[in-house]
Amino acid sequence: MLSLGLLVGAVTISRTIITFIIVLGLLVFAHEFGHYIMAKASGVRVEEFALGFGPKLIGFRKGETFYSLRILPLGGFCKMTGEFPNAEEELEGEELAAYQEAVASGRALYQKSIFSRFWVLFTGPLMNFVLAAILFSGIYAVVGLPEEASDQPIIGLSFPDEPAFEAGLREGDRIVSINGQPVNTWNDISVIIDQSKSDTISLVYERGNQQKTLQIQTRIEEGRKIIGISPQVYNRRVNIGVAIWEGVKYTWALIGLIVKGFWDMITFQTPAEVGGPVLIAKMVGDAAEVGWEYLIRFTALLSINLGIINLFPFPALDGGRILFLGIELVRGKAVDPEKEGFVHFIGFVVLMALIALIIYKDIARIF
């Protein structure tokens, strides 16, 4: 039994890791592809387009650009000639010759107008928003638009990391009774849980032809006791045009809500809840266990968050580099490359330290 449990655990962890790598790879690809296509459109020479960091696993050259897959699947980059004007001092041989050729033909990034450089930087986060809209539109095209919630006591979604999910309740389970009280409608579930005198409820549910009993610890949200489930939802079939329009609208609405959420955290109106790679990997694994639709929705949500975070005016992020473009626009001349490079380097070090701290907290929170 122990060996079987270890095997099941290993399979679950492997599935979570693989799913996380696929999801992260998609988000990174969309972001870096945004930089790539705008750089190409602006006439900037792209030296390398890479997924991952560290030593190269595989790669090939097509034209002037080298395309690679690297060993650490935790990011990626689009390396453009002339991202920093003083890069020539660190080059030699063929790399130096290629750099000088690009500069001579006006194809270095720093030689482009502020407008062009802005779009090269901004299109990365923009593509994360576009990816989210595509994913939501795809869901609407396949399953339809959410129209009406069912009043049947059948679970439509059991949200990851919530009490019900942790206890084992899943989509399609029918709730029969709570604390000995029969359940006939979804409203009965909400009322009985909220009016429970104890923080732990006894819930009987039906799956297939079997009934099982669970003890579930409730939690408080907005003054009410909940366990983290939602009812089944009836969907309305729509054509592809409506699906795209609704996907774009929903993405735009989520951007506004997430920006407000970040602002509330920054201004200390709400507690900061930050998750790093470890926690996100767990959440991706949980989302995959719920079902493909939930996983796609969660991926779209991650994509929006990635786009917004990259627009923060913090050194080393796209938003930080856009901020320097704003300073250049106001001053009428660029900031000294060495000074800007130093600021971005310090920002990168701070980011790495924050990520390390967040990973440590993730591990402590999960394990």
- Phi, psi dihedrals of residue 175, rounded to the nearest 5°: -85, 125
Residue with tokens 């795809």: 138
Q: Over pLDDT 90: what percentage of the chain?
A: 51
User: pLDDT value at position 94?
Assistant: 73
- Phi, psi dihedrals of residue 39, rounded to the nearest 5°: -65, -45
User: pLDDT value at position 80?
Assistant: 92
User: pLDDT value at position 222?
Assistant: 81
Q: What is the pLDDT of residues 118-162, one digit of tens each?
A: 999 999 999 999 999 999 999 999 989 988 888 999 999 898 888
User: pLDDT value at position 99?
Assistant: 79
User: pLDDT value at position 355?
Assistant: 73
User: pLDDT value at position 6?
Assistant: 44
Counting as low any pLDDT under 70, the low residues of the chain are 1-12, 85-91, 271-278, 359-367
Domains of the chain: 1-42+112-144+239-367 (no CATH), 43-108 (no CATH), 149-234 (2.30.42.10)
The residues annotated with a catalytic role in the active site are 32
Q: What is the pLDDT of residues 80-109, one digit of tens each?
A: 988 876 666 666 777 788 778 888 888 989
Residue 175: what residue type? I
User: pLDDT value at position 89?
Assistant: 64
| Average confidence score pLDDT of the chain | 86
Q: Return the CA Rg of the chain.
A: 25
Q: Where are the beta strands (DSSP E) in the chain?
A: 46-62, 65-80, 145-149, 155-158, 174-178, 181-182, 200-207, 210-217, 219-221, 224-226, 229-231, 233-236
- Report helix, strand or coil for 224: strand
Q: What own/partner pairs with CB < 8 Å and gap ≥ 24 does 194-199 have?
A: 194/224, 194/225, 194/226, 196/225, 199/225
Whole-prediction pTM value?
0.83
